Structure formats: C-alpha cells, structure tokens
C-alpha cells in the first residue's frame, strides 16, 4: 500500500514491458536515484507513458516529501 516504508533508492531500474526478454531498447526508461540527494524509492509502470513514482520521505521529518531528485534515461523522441 501507499503506507509501505521505502527503505532505499532506485538504482538504474529499467522498466521493461511484461514478458519482454533481452537488452533494453530505446524507450525502455531507466530510473536512477542512487546518488547524493536522490530520493526515488519505487517505480510502478502503468502504461508506456505513465508511471507511479514513490518518493522517499525527507531525512529529518518522515512526514514530509517536499522535493524530488532522480534521473530518467533512455527516452525516445515524443515519449
């Protein structure tokens, strides 16, 4: 559920279509937050163009999520 504790950052997480095997192709997004100040805890794909992103709580106050910092790579044109 949305109340689950997210312990760590996403590290070079590649979103692949269900049943896909092989190397990622252009458009298979790669999310990363494994760097200082990164705070992306989980990525849930909804469609090829929609994702639910779960941001980890702020360090000093777990009730707040007032910023976000992560990267997205391997996008294709018009994605």
Name the band, by pLDDT with cuts 50, 70 and 90, for residue 31: very high
d(CA 13, CA 74): 11
d(CA 75, CA 79): 6
40 or 18, higher pLDDT: 40
| pTM given for the model | 0.80
Q: Is the per-residue pLDDT at 48 higher than 90? A: no
Given pLDDT bands bounded at 50, 70 and 90, which one contains residue 59? confident
The two counts, helices (H) then strands (E), for the chain are 0, 5
């Amino acid at each position: 559920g949305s109340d689950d504790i997210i312990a760590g950052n996403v590290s070079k997480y590649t979103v692949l279509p269900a049943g896909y095997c092989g190397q990622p192709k252009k458009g298979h997004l790669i999310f990363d937050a494994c760097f200082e100040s990164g705070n992306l805890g989980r990525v849930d794909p909804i469609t090829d163009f929609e994702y639910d992103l779960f941001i980890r709580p702020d360090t000093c106050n777990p009730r707040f999520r007032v910023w976000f910092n992560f990267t997205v790579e391997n996008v294709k044109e018009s994605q």
